[in-house]
Structure 1
């Protein structure tokens, strides 16, 4: 067998770091630009070497260098070049920056808004299409994750602003080899393709860690030989001393406990005279325990608080605002910790105390290595494994995460060198020695994730037949790697024939799956046509397996319980992590929910999604990791529900569509459909809602009932403080009060089977709104700001058939036409029209109207 193996190609040698005269900041030849870098006199050796090609040319460039090398500033050279050309009218100022991790995108947005805000509009995409199109239109530096840019740029043929991008910056490009790398690969391939299609140069600048196969990545983004820089891992502006220590204990938790003492020793040895030390641990539990251990060792040995760099009194002032008790105690001894479960305020406080040099040690959970600027003199990686619930086993951190952690040991203007101590399970020691001192190659994962990308291209008409599908793949990084490392991609040989057979087979498989899930039709074995389910999946950026599941599980008889189960079954939720000890907690949640789950497996991510959705509606607070999971679930729920409503309306099921719309309101407001609508009001509790309903003078059932009361009556009834009452009044201003009128356009002359046009006019009361603008929805329980949306629906009163539906955004006034087919029998026929919100309960409207239908063809 082994003789059939085709070995991967040898890699090109890395770029040598030249001994150049450090470039002064004045090389920018522009006083405004030089002002941005007043903190340092000249650029570092890597920035100096890449400066000319980035700042004085329009070539595409790949800069691969270790984390902490100042690559972001290299990208800024390209932005300043773009700005200079835009000022002189040579090009558009439309720069897109892609960060593969949400936290990085946020950090970049904060940083660049401050830095470039004066001469460019910096915007961050939200993931909501309507809002993002506006941002894209007015933004000059657009910050996004690959997924958000993918969703927006798929329709590039209709979207001029996408075609007008002049500079496309991709950060952390080595993450193309990670689990979500396929989306990164698709968006870069698409930008190259757009550029060739419209014949204008979109400059691509990519930043990456040191790579084994940088040449392939460079050629793929269109960089020429002099635009390709791949510095070896040892070349750092601040040299890094790396120590790897093995701990020979097989049990994970016991090994973690045994690592606390060597971590303490590493800090006392390598971070002398109060230099900052950052410790990475696998989970939030370990962050808390390790911080306590370090405090215990320091008081036992030092007999004081050697890690506390500020005075105790000063510390007490800061600690006043901290929520978490344990954190208060560890901060008093100069050790802070960070994990996703801390409130934003606590996280910010610990970060500032660490950066401000008031505490010496910060312990962070492993995921915090991305998107936070925490430069330190010493980084200790305490354990290199985490528990992977899906595999029910402990798994190594991705190398990319480890490199990111090590990159924090760099303080360019303060230290001559950084230090890193890696504590790992003894058998892994050699593995890390190899990988951390040599550049590693990256491969594509696109072949495992091709279905949704292919479906989207069929929907927008970029791929119209099987030949187009093959052409589409030739733009990808995967295509470049196929014959370089054939075994990895299951190729039998590297001849042209092998390659084309392999691609044809891959495309056949993908298209067959899309065809059997009713997303795409294949005609005459060649031509591809998008079907309704495929259109819905691509439009809402949802997996084809989810839409297939929705379509096969929904029936006309589905009730709210079933809707919830179907929503929770979405493939998007299959990735939810499962952690040790969590199953008992999920079981407790499930037991106390309104809807039981049949034969639940408590380790199943879909059961978790269902339980966390129900606890959101019941307003049971979940904490820690589960709160983070719940946030993820809610963020996808809206897209999934919009898609679900479309699937249901395609079948014409009226009641079910209205129920799914109510489910969308429940997700936004965090309450059940049977709860009092008054619970949407600020400061309202179930008791207060009950008091309103039992009000003797007049039972208060709706928000409008309450809004009609005078402020004194309200004060008496609610017994809230003045500022709380003010919040309630502000809510009334935001709550949609819509006047709906409608008329049947054909009036007297509707015949059986004709098309009927219903003209609907919606007018909203805007009198009390600030700037006469409908702001985002008041939804404190939803994890991000949300714009409101509406559905207009026409249904048949007797058969409960849904006849027409339209999605509407409503500011002050909207006129909407709805078309439906009149009944086949003549006579007087009753229809219903509904206006349904996707965000608020208690403001929907329904009216009955009658159409007199004459005989077809008669006078």
Structure 2
């Protein structure tokens, strides 16, 4: 078989994201450099050779008119970035902002960043989850006709935030699959299992970006009250990292060598927290899991090494002063990769303290 088909560019569909990334990297410092950069792309080559509606151009345009149209396109996208606080346009000079750097760091789409910029800081836990679910990064996951029955069954299972009515939209599917994973529910088809793995990976990136965005905005805007949203975002980051709800009975899935089956056996035996497992005799653990020694001893040692135990003491020193004392009880162990955050807020949604790696 013989034949040929020209490869076309999709660069213009993501021009906003590419421009922001190059400005954040300081590759593009003004509009002239931006245009020279665009002229070096495959998109420009194809736009000149094949001007068409695909590239927002008209057939048989001359090169000067094509350049002018691409300049307008580029300037329009830069002004959109400026409007949303991602770049600073001073005359024809361009400079990134902390939010533009954040968008580039986490490979966010422009639509997702605009969604984050609309956050008020007082969102509930469910509203924060729904913000992540609405992100454009999930647009590749579509609901298929043969999946609706399965998803409706999952929605009827004891998921934490059931979707009203029947599953109809792509967002409903994303929310349902995230909650199914966090709730340790079994997904019945290989396709949904594979999609859920990708969704959790994307959600982990988005939730971390949302958390960092709230911290940056709170640091740069003294009037922005965001304790509730920040606490919810921090909790959701934990959920995506552990692939479990923060109050899940299947907390043991986080322990090395404990999967879904062993975790269910521990839950049936009433061992629903890391603390309750750590206080259980090694031989009892082996009996519950139908495993031989020294598995129980290894499991308990792994818990002691991996999971810190804290004592939190809060005392009122005066009308305007609260003393927070945090002590690590098992100080003899060294924790690699553990991440601890101390966050304090008030009833007016003000963030009073945010300390990482305490």
Report the TM range for the smaller structure's normalisation: 0.7 to 0.9
Question: Is 1:534 aligned with 2:107?
Answer: no
The residue number in structure 1 matching 2:292 is 722
CA distance in structure 2 between the partners assigned to 1:766 and 1:485 by the alignment? 68
After superposition, the C-alpha distances for 1:547-598 in whole angstroms (9 at most, x for unaligned) are 211232x343322222221111110001113333222222222233221235
- Max radius of gyration: which structure? 1
Query: CA separation of 1:568/1:704 partners in 2, compared to 1, >3 Å: closer, same or farther?
Result: same
Normalised by the length of structure 1, the TM-score is 0.35
After superposition, the C-alpha distances for 1:438-486 in whole angstroms (9 at most, x for unaligned) are 2332121111111111111122222222222112212211122222222
Counterpart of 1:586 (choices 151, 165, 182) is: 151
Q: Shift of the alpha carbon at 1:643? A: 0.9
Structure number having the greater helix percentage? 2
After superposition, the C-alpha distances for 1:73-119 in whole angstroms (9 at most, x for unaligned) are xxxxxxxxxxxxxxxxxxxxxxxxxxxxxxxxxxxxxxxxxxxxxxx
After superposition, the C-alpha distances for 1:366-412 in whole angstroms (9 at most, x for unaligned) are xxxxxxxxxxxxxxxxxxxxxxxxxxxxxxxxxxxxxxxxxxxxxxx
| Structure 2 SS opposite 1:621 | coil
CA distance in structure 1 between the partners assigned to 2:354 and 2:105 by the alignment? 17
Structure number having the greater strand percentage? 1
Query: CA separation of 1:765/1:439 partners in 2, compared to 1, >3 Å: closer, same or farther?
Result: farther
Question: Is 1:567 aligned with 2:132?
Answer: yes
Judge conservation of contact 1:473–1:479 (CA < 8 Å) in 2: yes
Instruction: Write out aligned runs for 1:82-93 (5 A).
Output: none
CA distance in structure 2 between the partners assigned to 1:529 and 1:599 by the alignment? 47
Q: Shift of the alpha carbon at 1:713? A: 5.9
Counterpart of 2:75 (choices 504, 508, 514) is: 508
| Structure 2 SS opposite 1:795 | strand
Question: Is 1:520 aligned with 2:84?
Answer: no
The residue number in structure 2 matching 1:802 is 351
Judge conservation of contact 2:167–2:173 (CA < 8 Å) in 1: no
| Structure 2 SS opposite 1:528 | strand
Query: How well do the aligned residues superpose, as a CA RMSD in angstroms?
Result: 3.5
Judge conservation of contact 2:283–2:296 (CA < 8 Å) in 1: no
Counterpart of 1:497 (choices 39, 55, 64) is: 64
Structure 2 residue runs without a partner (length 5+): 219-224, 313-319, 321-325
Counterpart of 1:605 (choices 170, 174, 184) is: 170
The residue number in structure 1 matching 2:274 is 703
Structure 1 residue runs without a partner (length 5+): 1-435, 694-700, 742-751, 753-759, 775-787, 809-834, 836-859
Query: CA separation of 1:728/1:789 partners in 2, compared to 1, >3 Å: closer, same or farther?
Result: closer
The residue number in structure 1 matching 2:20 is 455
The residue number in structure 2 matching 1:95 is none
After superposition, the C-alpha distances for 1:808-835 in whole angstroms (9 at most, x for unaligned) are 5xxxxxxxxxxxxxxxxxxxxxxxxxx5
Greater relative contact order structure (CA < 8 Å, 6+ sep): 2
The residue number in structure 2 matching 1:790 is 339
| Structure 2 SS opposite 1:608 | helix
Question: Is 1:688 aligned with 2:266?
Answer: yes
| Structure 2 SS opposite 1:594 | coil
Q: How many residues align?
A: 330
CA distance in structure 1 between the partners assigned to 2:2 and 2:355 by the alignment? 58
CA distance in structure 2 between the partners assigned to 1:807 and 1:443 by the alignment? 47
Judge conservation of contact 1:519–1:544 (CA < 8 Å) in 2: no
CA distance in structure 2 between the partners assigned to 1:549 and 1:647 by the alignment? 12
The residue number in structure 1 matching 2:44 is 479
Judge conservation of contact 1:791–1:807 (CA < 8 Å) in 2: yes
Query: CA separation of 1:503/1:556 partners in 2, compared to 1, >3 Å: closer, same or farther?
Result: closer
